[in-house]
């Protein structure tokens, strides 16, 4: 047995979490990481999405556009996907303020507690989530 099971599981959890984000709502990389079970792995979420983008067939039903950074900005301009992401989000009714930021007060998805509970996260991560969502 190797240690690759938990790692692979994290990736699965990340993709699963992203698929939960409702139409017209967004989550930050950090919150996705939290809900996937690893609060400090926000960077990895970006990495996973980046690599997922290279295999469009595999992940064609992934609403990747609903993941933005903590400030509500699009992190995808640097790899040339910014305009596409913005277009997809606007199509869902998400709008941007004059700083090219999404007002998270309005569009950040706050998952129902029932759903959070279902994730069976360790207590310490629940605290992190509570803090980050500013419940």
Partner DNA sequence: TCAGTGACTCCCC
Partner DNA sequence: CGGGGAGCCACTG
> Does 10 sit near DNA (CB under 7 A)?
yes
Size of the site for DNA (CB under 7 A): 38
Minimum CB–partner distance for residue 26 and DNA (Å): 10
Residues 50 and 126: their CA atoms lie apart, in Å, by: 27
The piece of 22-30, 89-97, 103-111, 119-127 that touches DNA (CB under 7 A) is 22-30
Interacting positions 66-85 with DNA (CB under 7 A) = 67, 69-71, 75-76, 78-79, 81, 85
> Does 50 sit near DNA (CB under 7 A)?
yes
Minimum CB–partner distance for residue 100 and DNA (Å): 14
Q: Where are the alpha helices (DSSP H) in the chain?
A: 4-20, 29-35, 42-53, 82-91, 104-107, 113-118, 123-133
> Does 29 sit near DNA (CB under 7 A)?
yes
Minimum CB–partner distance for residue 5 and DNA (Å): 9
Q: Which of 129, 94, 96, 97 is nearest to 113 (CA)?
A: 129
Residues 73 and 96: their CA atoms lie apart, in Å, by: 9
32 and 125 Cβ atoms separated by less than 8 Å: no
């Amino acid at each position: 047995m190797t240690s690759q099971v938990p790692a692979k599981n994290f990736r699965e959890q990340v993709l699963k979490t992203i698929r939960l984000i409702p139409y017209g709502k967004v989550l930050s990389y950090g919150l996705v990481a939290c809900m996937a079970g690893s609060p400090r792995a926000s960077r990895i979420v970006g990495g996973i999405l980046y690599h997922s983008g290279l295999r469009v067939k595999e992940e064609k039903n992934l609403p990747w556009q609903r993941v933005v950074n903590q400030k509500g900005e699009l992190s995808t301009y640097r790899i040339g996907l910014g305009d596409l992401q913005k277009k997809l989000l606007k199509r869902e009714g998400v709008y941007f303020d004059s700083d090219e930021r999404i007002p998270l007060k309005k569009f950040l998805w706050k998952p129902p507690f029932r759903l959070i509970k279902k994730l069976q996260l360790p207590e310490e991560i629940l605290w992190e989530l509570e803090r980050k969502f500013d419940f």
